[in-house]
Amino acid sequence: MATRYSYSGTLRTIGQELEKRGIDIFELRCQRADYTIQYGDPKPPHTGLLDIYFSGEEIRSLDLDAARQRGGRFKLVSFGRLPEILRALGRHVENKAGKILKISTATSMPTLDSFRLEYQSPDGRIQAEELTSSAMADLALRMYRIRLHVQSQPDRRI
């Protein structure tokens, strides 16, 4: 069953923006195509909580800017970085045909070792999972290998 929501690319774009800003402790909430991120101030003295809001249009614009900067050049991918982990979390929910509600850095483990994911399943139930960064990095690597395999296949149309 295919999901109506495409999260993997959007979350990678958001992860790139969070990484640029030095944000690694956060709570992301999804409302349709819009995302709100609440995070701890990354600059000393780390005293407050701040918010970022991304509309669907802003995310598309950020993604286009990132694609232009890449310019089709090969870039070594680090699957343990925040953009790839968020991408994998998005794919995890897509595979379950779910709807993301919230992603946060888990408080039970050190930063970026674990993420808490809340989503709504197709039957309407709220699901919560705590997923490790290493498990999501493994999923990101599998996603990358699948993309490479698909890209290397010759066009079989007659």
Digit-coded pLDDT (tens) for 52-61? 999 999 999 9
Residue 1 has a pLDDT of 40
Residue of higher predicted confidence among 106 and 116: 116
Each as own residue / partner, the long-range contacts of residues 54-61 (CB below 8 Å, 24 or more positions apart, any chain) are 54/14, 54/17, 56/32, 59/10, 59/13, 59/14, 59/33, 59/35
- The answer, yes or no, to whether residue 6 has pLDDT greater than 80, is yes
Residue 144 has a pLDDT of 76
SS3 assignment for the chain: CCCCCCCHHHHHHHHHHHHHCCCCCEEEEEECCEEEEEEECCCCCCCCEEEEEECHHHHHHHHHHHHHHHCCCCCCCCCCCHHHHHHHHHHHHHHCCCEEEEEEECCCCCCCCEEEEEEECCCCCEEEEEEEHHHHHHHHHHHHHHHHHHHHCCCCCC
Residue 50 has a pLDDT of 92
List pLDDT tens digits, range 34-76: 999 999 887 788 788 899 999 999 999 998 988 787 776 666 6
List pLDDT tens digits, range 11-32: 999 999 999 998 888 999 999 8
What are the residue boundaries of the structural domains of the chain, listed by start? 8-152
Residue 108 has a pLDDT of 56
